[in-house]
Amino acid sequence: MKRLFAALLMLALACCVLPYGARARASDGDEQAARRVLVMLRMPPQHFRPDSSYGGGYADDGTGAARRRQASELADAHGLKVVDDWPMPAIGIDCFVMEEPGDAPLERVLDALAHDPRVAWAQPVHPYHGLEDGNAHGGDPLYPAQPAARLWHLAELHRVSTGRKVAVAVVDSGVDGAHPDLAGQLLLRQNFVDAMPDAAEAHGTAVAGIIAARAGNGLGIAGIAPQARLMALRACWEAARQETLCNSFTLGKALHFALLNGAQVINLSLGGPADRLLQTLIDTALARDVAVVAAVDPQRPDGGFPASLPGVIAVTQAGDRRALPAGAFQAPGIQVPAPLPGARWGLVSGSSYAAAHVAGLAALVLELRPGTTPPQLRRAFATAPRTTLVAHDPGRALEQAGSIDACATIARAAGACACQCPTTAAVTADPLP
């Protein structure tokens, strides 16, 4: 009891200091971004090289200079200026960022580019944002306050699986790799926001911590998959008013990097408009059996993009009484303790953090069943029975836990009882293939 009181006291103190430092502000380039378009040029098939040695440059690619010349010619022909580019051999295109320096309607520019036979396709640079509602284990002081500790029986799950060596790409704002709960947890770190320097930011750090915070280190929380290895891919940044912002180009670069560097799970705790470039990259990931987990935008009836894409595991916070998009799951996402930059912790809420729970759970399954495909993961989550978790208030417990029975999911993957054995025994006869 004393221990629980101490944990809750520490959590309360952490929440009192939640705002930290001066936030990175949206750069002046954001206004320029509104005048920019993405122009895709096809790469010859023989130059498709989907391996981890490809870093995004034109090394060993004899056609790169020709494509740059072609992009310059296109820009001149349409009154544009080339400002950036990123080759994406995983989907067979070079992505060029071009800016309209005047005041011509971008719709007219995009229409002209669409009719140019040299262009695979052209599109706007769409904005995206993190999906949060604001901030609000033995040896981990905040473990008793974690919803997953009680509702998902996390300590019991960790006796069966910890997500060992599963690579999870966190495509988000900057992750604080020096945080005590994340020290040693990052497989790699990459910044794709060229307009501003790399930084440790709240949204990305909290998402990463919920997925894979160190367990049993005497500090903070235990991640859902504490032995997973995180790829911290900064495609978003924090602007004024604590907003987490991204765009098509930064997200596209990060997703392409994840594809070429062995990500097994990609977490996208963000939402925005439908985007052809991002959809092509996500479809490619799914075709390679990479699980893609995305946060549901509760303001959109279909859950928003990319959560609404077929094959994506869409997640919202448990207890959300708004109508759920078809096929979406619920997971703990309200008042979740999580790491924050500067060796601190605080409470976070939103579908961003519910998605992080499910990305961690996917890593637990993939440790046990490395060949599990995204459709098999979805079936594992969907067919798990819902159980009574708290005897005195079963309805509320189910609402807080969400629509995924983590114990049953891991029991199916392991082919043996994980926790709540009388409940999950029925599903062990039908393990994952």
pLDDT single digits (tens) 64-95: 889 999 999 999 999 999 999 999 999 999 99
Q: Same domain, yes or no, for 36 and 171?
A: no
pLDDT at 420: 59
pLDDT at 387: 44
Section 408-430 average pLDDT? 69
Average pLDDT of the chain is 83
β-strands 93-99, 81-88 pairing: antiparallel
Alpha-carbon distance 4 to 175, whole Å? Answer: 28
Tell me the pLDDT band of 401, cut-offs 50, 70 and 90. Answer: low
Q: Same domain, yes or no, for 91 and 237?
A: no
Among 93, 108, 125, identify where a domain stops. 125
Spatial neighbors of 115 by CB under 8 A, at least 6 apart, are none
Q: Is residue 101 part of a domain?
A: yes
Q: Same domain, yes or no, for 358 and 235?
A: yes
Question: 353, 324, 318: which is closest to 151 by C-alpha?
Answer: 318
Query: Residue 35 corresponds to which tokens in the numbers above?
Result: 């005048």
pLDDT at 421: 64
Q: Is residue 10 part of a domain?
A: no
Q: Is residue 102 part of a domain?
A: yes
Do 281 and 259 form a contact (C-beta atoms < 8 A)? yes
Q: Is residue 328 part of a domain?
A: yes
Q: Same domain, yes or no, for 139 and 269?
A: yes
Among 106, 125, 144, identify where a domain stops. 125
Q: What are phi and psi of 314, to 5 degrees?
A: -90, 135
pLDDT at 137: 63
Among 60, 90, 125, identify where a domain stops. 125
pLDDT at 431: 59
Query: Percentage of the chain with pLDDT > 90?
Result: 62
Q: Same domain, yes or no, for 148 and 94?
A: no
269: CATH: 3.40.50.200
Q: Same domain, yes or no, for 154 and 45?
A: no
The domain containing residue 346 runs over which residues? Answer: 129-428
Query: Percentage of the chain with pLDDT > 70?
Result: 78
Q: Is residue 12 part of a domain?
A: no
Alpha-carbon distance 63 to 83, whole Å? Answer: 19
Q: How many domains does the chain have?
A: 2
pLDDT at 138: 59
Alpha-carbon distance 421 to 235, whole Å? Answer: 42
Alpha-carbon dihedral angle through residues 228, 229, 235, 238, given to the nearest 10 degrees = 70
pLDDT at 399: 53
Q: Which is more confidently placed, 297 or 134?
A: 297
Q: Same domain, yes or no, for 327 and 242?
A: yes
Q: Same domain, yes or no, for 374 and 237?
A: yes
Q: Same domain, yes or no, for 67 and 140?
A: no
Q: Same domain, yes or no, for 75 and 212?
A: no
Q: Is residue 11 part of a domain?
A: no
pLDDT at 276: 97
Q: Same domain, yes or no, for 181 and 268?
A: yes
Q: Same domain, yes or no, for 140 and 90?
A: no
Q: Which amino acid is at 150?
A: R
Q: Is the pLDDT of residue 1 over 50?
A: no
Spatial neighbors of 53 by CB under 8 A, at least 6 apart, are none
**Cα separation of the two ends of the chain:** 43
Q: Is residue 23 part of a domain?
A: no
Give pTM, 2 decimals.
0.86
Tell me the pLDDT band of 50, cut-offs 50, 70 and 90. Answer: very low
Q: Is residue 22 part of a domain?
A: no
Q: Is the pLDDT of residue 232 over 80?
A: yes
pLDDT at 19: 31
Q: Is the pLDDT of residue 37 over 90?
A: yes
So which residues are the catalytic ones?
172, 203, 352
83: CATH: 3.30.70
